[in-house]
Amino acid sequence: MHLQNEKQPGEKTGKDEQNSYEEISEKRTSKLGYILLIIMVAFVIGVGETIFSDLAGIPERPVAPSSCVLSSVRNLESLTKYSTCQDRGVPFNDIDKKFGLDEKYNGIKPQLQEIASLNASIGSNNSEVRKLENDIQRLNRDYDLSLQEKMAGEKAIADKEDIKNEITSAKAKIGILQAEIRSLESKKGPLISQIRPSVQSIERSHQEAKDYFLGKAAWFRFKVFLLTLVFILPFFAFSVFFYFKLKRKNSPYTIIFTATTTAFSILFLQVVGVFLYDILPKEWLGRIFKFFMEAPFLRYVIYYGSVILVIGIFGGIVYYIQKKVFSPAKVAIRRLKDKKCPGCSFSLDSQHAFCPNCGLRLKEKCQHCGELRIKYLPHCPNCGTDEVGKISA
């Protein structure tokens, strides 16, 4: 970095800059201090999460209506003996009973069991048919082979007539099985139509139970939100209060509250974020997002927008940090502290008025006392006034 003679890197060395300069060099803590603070932050967050999940257990958590009632009656074609709720030992819960799902289900239970056993018979007949069809394929291959062998004049391994007979008998068996399947299906059809009104009634009641549950669940989440907020808010507020109080006083203990504020901010944002996500009209947002994603042009607007946004946010944070730490004034002060030129880092003698390497002007006349003072440091070493002309206490 080559600075021009009269362009001072530290011209605006006001009071604020001076304070943050102290912060960089002295308000840091030792490595052990940092490690302890990081452990503290992790611990506070961990304890906070434990308390949150404990608080979520205080309001009564609503239970959803059993989904297996619905899946049993909705998949009548594939219903088997063990796919009905009660056969799997799932008891009806309170909300099921409240909306009469248990009674309605038990009302059609004999038919459901009948359908399940018919499905089982149809299934086993079907697999029998598939097995026989595979056999026929294999027999056909054997038949072709024996035909070829005969044409080539070799002695056939398998007898042609036997294979033919086997194929005929397998085909006959398939015919019998398919007739049986048709008869089973013809028993099942009327059963399904017979219970259709009850199935529709179960579906309606289940929907009502689900709506009721969703309302209860929303209320439950709101109660959990209030409880966690009441818990975290005082900690968060006190931590922020002490942070600013100590920071104003330039206290070296500010960093402790920086750490606690970090931890409580994370917990606080979590509570608020979960709640906001909960009340967000997700369906609505999903529809907008889908609309954008379906149009190729708009989709790329989103892609480009999100890349720019991410770079903007993360780049902005890093830029702010770098600007604070590496402002020309700070760089100049840090270099002068090491007896180096603020412009080029060349080693300096305190008597030099210009850098012998890059020619940067290092000293100027104090506007207050007229003696030479170092240009980039806030106070005149002779009279003590700072740049603005105040005599420091």
Binding site for Zn ion (CB under 5 A): 341, 343-344, 346, 355, 357-358, 360, 366, 368-369, 380, 382-383
- Helix (H) / strand (E) element for 1: namely none
The nearest distance, CB 50 to Zn ion, in angstroms, is 57
Shortest separation between residue 332's beta carbon and Zn ion, angstroms: 11
Query: Least distance to Zn ion from the beta carbon of 385, Å?
Result: 6
Nearest CB to Zn ion, comparing residues 95 and 355: 355
Q: Which is nearer to Zn ion, 224 or 362 (CB)?
A: 362
Number of separate helices (H) and strands (E) present in the chain: 11, 2
The SS3 call for residue 84 is: coil
CA dist 274 and 262 (Å) reads 18
By beta-carbon proximity to Zn ion, the closer residue of 270 and 357 is 357
229/372 with CB nearer Zn ion = 372
Residue 218 CA to residue 258 CA, distance in Å, equals 35
Which is closer to Zn ion, CB of 247 or CB of 368? 368
Distance CA 148, CA 153 (A): 9
Query: What minimum distance in Å lies between the beta carbon of 366 and Zn ion?
Result: 3
Task: Read off φ and ψ for residue 343, nearest 5 degrees.
Answer: -90, -40
Angle (CA) 232-61-202 rounded to 5° is: 150
Q: How far is the CB of 358 from Zn ion (least distance, A)?
A: 3
Cβ of residue 325: shortest distance to Zn ion, in angstroms? 21
**Dihedral sign, Cα of residue 264, residue 265, residue 270, residue 271:** positive
Q: Which long-range contacts (CB under 8 A, 24 or more apart) does 351-354 make?
A: none
Radius of gyration of the chain (CA): 41
User: Which CB atom, from 299 or from 352, has the smaller least distance to Zn ion?
Assistant: 352
